[in-house]
Amino acid sequence: MQQIHNAFDMPWKIKNKIHQITILPWVRLQFALNGIHWGQNWRFYGLPIIQKHRKSIMRFGAALELRSSVRANPLGANHPVILCTWQDGALLGVGDHFGMTGGSIIAAERITIGNNVIVGANSTIMDTDFHSVCPEVRSQHPQNAKTAPVLIEDDVFIGMNCLILKGVKIGHGAVIGAGSVVIKDVPSGMIMAGNPAQVVRKISKLTL
C-alpha cells in the first residue's frame, strides 16, 4: 500500500522504473562487450559510458547503482556516469552497494573503492593529472602525467560536485562536503570540505 501511495505522490519514479527495465539489455551488452563480470542486484538509470583499456581490469560488487539520466535524480546528472581505465594495467575496483549519479571515475593506475560508498551528483574521482605541468613535456608527450593510486574505504559519503585527485586515501566513514577538492588524505570518521578540502569536524551520532 505504501508503494502505491509513493507512486501516486511521485509519478516520475514510475517513468524511472520503466526506463530502468527497458535499458537493462543494452547495459548488460555494454558490460559484456567490455569483459566486465555482471553482478547481483545491479540497477541502472540511463546508460553509463564505459571506456576500458583492453589490458586493464574493471570489477564491481553487488548492488551497484548508477544514475546516468538527468531525470534519475533531482540534483540532475550533467552527463552519464563515465567509468574509465586509461592505461595498460589500470585497475578500477569497486565494492558492494556503490551508488553514483553522473560524474566520472578515471583510473590510469589504480582506484579502489570499498563497500557502502555513495558519490553525489557530478563528482569526479581520478588518479592521474592527465597532462604534465611542464610545457615541454606536455607538448611532446601529452599523456605523460603523474599518477598515484586512490583508495576510498568503506562507508564513505562524497557530496555533489566534488573532485578527488590522485594519491588520496579517504578513510572509513568519512564525509566529503559538496563542492570540495580533495588533494590530501582524509582521516576516518571526519568531515572534510572546501577547496582545498580541510577537516571540519569529527563525525558523531549527533552530527546531522
Mean pLDDT over residues 154-181, rounded?
97
Report which residue type is found at 182: V
Structural domain range at position 169: 2-202
Q: How many domains does the chain have?
A: 1
Q: What is the pLDDT of residues 120-133, one digit of tens each?
A: 999 999 999 876 56
Provide CB contacts within 8 A for 86, sequence distance 6+.
Answer: 51, 53, 106, 107, 108, 128
Could you tell me the CA-to-CA distances from 81 to 66, 104, 171, 176, 201 in Å, in that order? 7, 6, 24, 19, 30
4: pLDDT confidence band, cut at 50, 70 and 90?
Answer: very low
| pLDDT score recorded for residue 206 | 54
Q: What are phi and psi of 135, to 5 degrees?
A: -60, -40
Annotated active-site residue in 5, 53, 97, 131: 131
Residue 190, in any domain of the structure:
yes
Buried b (16+ CB within 10 A) or exposed e, 177-188: bebbebeeebeb
Q: What is the pLDDT of residues 88-112, one digit of tens each?
A: 999 999 999 999 999 999 999 999 9
| pLDDT score recorded for residue 5 | 47
Residue 128, in any domain of the structure:
yes
Residue 42 bridge partners (DSSP): none
Residue 162, in any domain of the structure:
yes
Contact 128, 145 (CB under 8 A): yes
**131 has catalytic annotation:** yes
| pLDDT score recorded for residue 1 | 44
What percent of the chain is predicted at pLDDT more than 70?
82
Provide CB contacts within 8 A for 115, sequence distance 6+.
Answer: 61, 95, 96, 97, 98, 154, 155
Residue 208, in any domain of the structure:
no
Residue 207, in any domain of the structure:
no
| pLDDT score recorded for residue 59 | 97
